């Protein structure tokens, strides 16, 4: 059973997941298209990606795919803990240019649904963080886009500076409306 909570970003949801425990360990439902539909969320996944991050304070983001390949994603932290941030890039949205941060961890089993039109990034808070993404659209390499994690237009307060970050994520252009 999944429970969906609205966030400050229009159309983004934090998803709580129960864990059934017994002497063997635990069992959790990670995704159910029917439950998404009942919550009013139009999402079904195509590609499923795993991001493995051995180091604490690894930063990935802020990433999105623009139209006509805009993608929604459902993000989970299977191991470790991350500070996960979404930024609303939809001019027509009530939360345009707003951002919100969430802690996703193995222990809290929270999932984050990121709607189309939002940039997404995370900072690992521990070693060995494994992040699973379900994507609504297939990856289009020519449409990979992003902004810097420290773009002043968003003023995101990260809990720590990145210790590991790809050069590509330092080279994104400054946000210009
Ligand atoms: C994102 C992506 C990358 N790739 C390839 C491209 C490249 O060779 C290699 C690594 O890609 P990247 O460096 O872009 O991976 P990464 O920086 O981890 O990108 C991810 O960052 C987080 C914050 C997100 O929100 C994701 O949607 C995704 O953009 O994997 C795919 O094949 N499919 C994909 O969906």
CA 141 to ligand 1: nearest atom:
6
Report which ligand 1 atom has the smallest distance to the Cα of 51: 18
At 42 the pLDDT is: 94
Residue with the nearest Cα to atom 33 of ligand 1?
Answer: 139
Q: Is 63 a catalytic residue?
A: yes
Query: How far is it, in rounded angstroms, from Cα 44 to Cα 154?
Result: 29
The predicted model scores a pTM of 0.96
- The share of the chain scoring above pLDDT 90, in percent, equals 98
What's the farthest any 2 CA atoms get from each other in the chain? 54
Please compute the mean of the pLDDT values over residues 75-89 and round it to a whole number.
98
pLDDT in tens, 129-146: 999 999 999 999 999 999
Confidence of residue 56 (pLDDT cuts 50, 70, 90): very high
Cβ density class 120-137: b for 16+ within 10 Å, e for less: bbbbbbbeebbbbbbbbb
Burial letters 18-36, b for 16+ CB under 10 A, else e: eeeeeeeeeeeeebeeeeb
Quote the pLDDT of residue 15: 98
Query: How many Cβ atoms from other residues are within 10 Å of residue 100's Cβ?
Result: 18
Is residue 61 lining ligand 1, measured as CB closer than 6 Å? yes
pLDDT for position 59: 98
Is omega for the bond preceding 109 within 30 degrees of 0, making it cis?
no
Cα-based torsion angle of the residue sequence 114, 17, 156, 80 in order, rounded to the nearest 10 degrees: -120
What's the confidence (pLDDT) of residue 116? 97
pLDDT tens across 4-25, in order?
999 999 999 999 999 999 999 9
Angle at the Cα of 127 (from 172 to 171), degrees rounded to 5? 10
The predicted-structure confidence for 33-51, as pLDDT tens digits, reads as follows 999 999 999 999 999 999 9
pLDDT for 1 beyond 90:
no
Catalytic position from the list 20, 55, 57, 63: 63
CA separation for the pair 75, 79 (Å, rounded) = 12
Determine the 3-state secondary structure of 138 from DSSP: coil
Helix residue ranges, H only, the chain: 33-38, 167-170
Q: How far is the CA of 22 from the centre of ligand 1 (A)?
A: 36
Domains of the chain (ranges, CATH numbers): 2-170 (2.60.120.10)
């Amino acid at each position: 059973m999944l429970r969906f909570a609205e966030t400050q970003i229009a159309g983004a949801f934090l998803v709580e997941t129960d864990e059934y425990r017994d002497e063997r360990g635990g069992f959790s439902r990670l995704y159910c298209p029917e439950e998404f539909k009942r919550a009013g969320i139009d999402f079904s996944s195509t590609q499923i990606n795993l991001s493995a991050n051995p180091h604490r304070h690894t930063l990935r983001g802020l990433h999105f795919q623009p139209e006509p390949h805009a993608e929604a994603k459902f993000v989970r932290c299977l191991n470790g803990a991350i500070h996960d941030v979404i930024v609303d890039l939809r001019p027509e949205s009530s939360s345009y240019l707003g951002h919100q941060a969430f802690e996703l961890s193995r222990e809290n089993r929270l999932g984050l649904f990121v709607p189309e039109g939002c940039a997404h990034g995370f900072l690992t808070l521990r070693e060995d963080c494994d992040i699973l993404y379900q994507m609504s659209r297939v990856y289009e390499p020519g449409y990979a886009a992003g902004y810097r994690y420290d773009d002043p237009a968003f003023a995101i307060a990260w809990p720590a500076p990145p210790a590991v970050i790809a050069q590509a994520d330092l080279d994104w252009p400054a946000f210009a409306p």
